[in-house]
Amino acid sequence: MSSKAVVPVSAPLDWQYAPSRESTGIVALKERYGLFIDGKFRAPLSKKYFPTINPATEEELAEVPEAGAQDVNRAVVAARRAFDEDWGSLPGKERAKYLFRIARMVQERSRELAVLETMDGGKPIREARDVDLPLVAAHFFYYAGWADKLEYAFPGLHPEPLGVAGQVIPWNFPLMMLAWKLAPALAAGNTVVLKPAETTPLSALHFAELASEAGLPPGVVNIITGAGATGGALVAHPGVDKVAFTGSTSVGKLIRSQLAGSGKRLTLELGGKAAHVIFEDAPLDQAIEGVINGIFFNQGHVCCAGSRLFVQESIHDRFVDKLKRRLSTLRVGDPLDKNTDVGAINSAEQLARITELVEAGQLEGAEIYQPECVLPRNGFWFVPTLFTGVSQSHRIAQEEIFGPVLSIMSFRTPEEAVEKANNTPYGLSAGVWTQKGSRILWMADQLKAGVVWANTYNKFDPSSPFGGYKESGFGREGGRHGLLPYLKGIGL
């Protein structure tokens, strides 16, 4: 052995990532946007506008119109005319080519759209760039191919479009939700009036510009901005044949009651409180990454977030220790920084809701853990949070928090895990981690959830159906099944 001196290691190095900030120069924001109706951007008849802000800085980005009842009517009339005169009778292969073209144009402008998505919504640029935008393009590409193959999708069903679809989407994945809504609707031959969420309207309006550049006939896609009242007017409009909504269960129930007796077709993709079940034989390091991704992806603003963690008792303490260690390495802050793991909370309102539920968790006796974390001064932020000692009846085990907050519970047997996992009115998704294949499939059979991820989590693909059981909604988006809600069918 040589006797060379070893460099002594004293205190842990205190070092930071060099900031790697994505430039916003690629996005040309307008001061004020119009409603995209019948192929043109138009000032609202309501004459009302509201600001949209960057939740990471609270700076106003632009003003967008608040569509009133007259604007909604104008959009629906345009969509109806486009359906009757144009799109509804266009051969499938021509519809396909428009959608392929849109997919290509999204790919071409993906960087700009990713930056815009991050500015308006607060999500980390890494996610907007690597997850949202590729999936948006893929979704259009996938459904483009179905447009002229509908007769192969469902044996015995003569495929016919419904007419005008009214679609209302949430703020967590603004452009991706737009793609999930528009692509199957257009592929099936419907025309669309879509309302993006009031806190994230910009990417949809930039998409409208793109659709216009793609030469999409006027009226086929109409984008109207506004809040709940606008959405309510859209779904209630008698000229709308089909309503598709993604958002909270409470609003979903409101829409269901609004449509009662109208005969309109409806699909709902609502909230979730997904169980993430870790068995003692799971590959723990991979499971840790899966759990982290499951709850902190997009600040936990994910309807399928793995927000209830069930760890087998024998590994509970070890797993929680590992999880805490991993939590302390998450980088919270500027969403435009490519190093950022957890971005800004989407709005002050959502931050208040998360804060309220976390306080309830503490009051009800669960034990909170939050890593040390320096948050920016402006904007809306929440430190990644774990709760241990959670019981089934706690609000943080029952209610959807829609934020970076994980409730941890334990179980002894697989039957107990199933019992606890299914103990929720929701049923959107679930995760299972075990090395044993037969147990994965047994669990998948028992879990009342529309998507079950095994030894992975939060995986999405346009060819794979997504949607919930129970109060997480009905209907599926994605895959062959995602076409069915947009076609005339039997008893639907």
Partner 1 sequence: MTRLDVRKTYKLYINGEFPRSESGRSYPALDSHGGVVARVALASRKDLRDAVRAARMAVPLWAGKTGYNRGQILYRIAEMVEDRIETFADQLTLGGLTIARARSEVIRTIDRLVWYAGWCDKFSQVYGNLNPVAGPFFNISAPEPTGVVGVVAPAEPALLGLVSRLAPALAGGNTLVILASEPEPLPAITLAEVLETADVPGGVINILTGSPVELVPWLADHMDVNGLDATGAAEELRIRIDQGSVHNIKRVVAVDDPDTQSPFLIAAFTEVKTVWHPKGL
Q: Report 442-481 residues binding partner 1 (CB under 8 A).
A: 442, 444-445, 461-463, 479-480
Select from 86, 145, 330, 454 the one that contacts partner 1 (CB under 8 A): 145
Nearer to partner 1, 74 or 109 (CB): 109
184 interacts with partner 1 by CB under 8 A = no
Select from 53, 72, 78, 153 the one that contacts partner 1 (CB under 8 A): 153
Select from 83, 146, 310, 469 the one that contacts partner 1 (CB under 8 A): 146
Select from 61, 75, 78, 96 the one that contacts partner 1 (CB under 8 A): 96
Q: Contacts with partner 1: how many residues (CB under 8 A)?
A: 28
For residue 361 the two structure tokens come to: 């968790």
Identity of the amino acid at 221: V
Q: Single out the segment in contact with partner 1 by CB under 8 A; choices: 47-55, 140-148, 174-182, 208-216.
A: 140-148
Strand, helix or coil for residue 41: strand
Residue ranges with strand state E in 190-264: 191-195, 221-223, 242-246
Q: What are the catalytic residues?
A: 269, 303
414 interacts with partner 1 by CB under 8 A = yes
Asked if 201 and 52 count as a contact pair (C-beta separation under 8 A), the reply is yes
What CA–CA distance (Å, rounded) separates 13 from 372? 16
Nearest distance in Å: CB 446, partner 1: 10
148 interacts with partner 1 by CB under 8 A = yes
Nearest distance in Å: CB 138, partner 1: 6
170 interacts with partner 1 by CB under 8 A = no
Nearer to partner 1, 81 or 436 (CB): 436
Alpha helices in 29-155 (DSSP H): 69-85, 92-108, 110-121, 125-127, 133-146, 150-153
Nearest distance in Å: CB 165, partner 1: 21
Nearer to partner 1, 335 or 482 (CB): 482
Nearer to partner 1, 93 or 325 (CB): 93
- 274-295 burial, b at 16+ Cβ within 10 Å, e below that, comes to bbbbbbbebebeebbebbbbbb
Select from 81, 97, 353, 488 the one that contacts partner 1 (CB under 8 A): 97
322 interacts with partner 1 by CB under 8 A = no
CA distances from 133 to 22, 78, 155, 336, 388 (A): 16, 28, 33, 15, 35
Report helix, strand and coil shares of the chain as percent, to nearest 5: 40, 15, 40
Nearest distance in Å: CB 154, partner 1: 10
What string of H, E and C letters represents the secondary structure of 334-367? CCCECCCCECCCCCHHHHHHHHHHHHHHHHCCCE
Select from 32, 376, 437, 492 the one that contacts partner 1 (CB under 8 A): 437
Backbone angles phi, psi at 85, to 5 degrees: -95, -15
Q: Note the Cα 421 to chain centre separation in Å.
A: 22
Q: Report the length, in residues, of the chain.
A: 492
Nearer to partner 1, 409 or 417 (CB): 417
**Which residues are near partner 1 by CB under 8 A?**
93, 96-97, 100, 138, 141-142, 144-149, 152-153, 414, 437-439, 441-442, 444-445, 461-463, 479-480
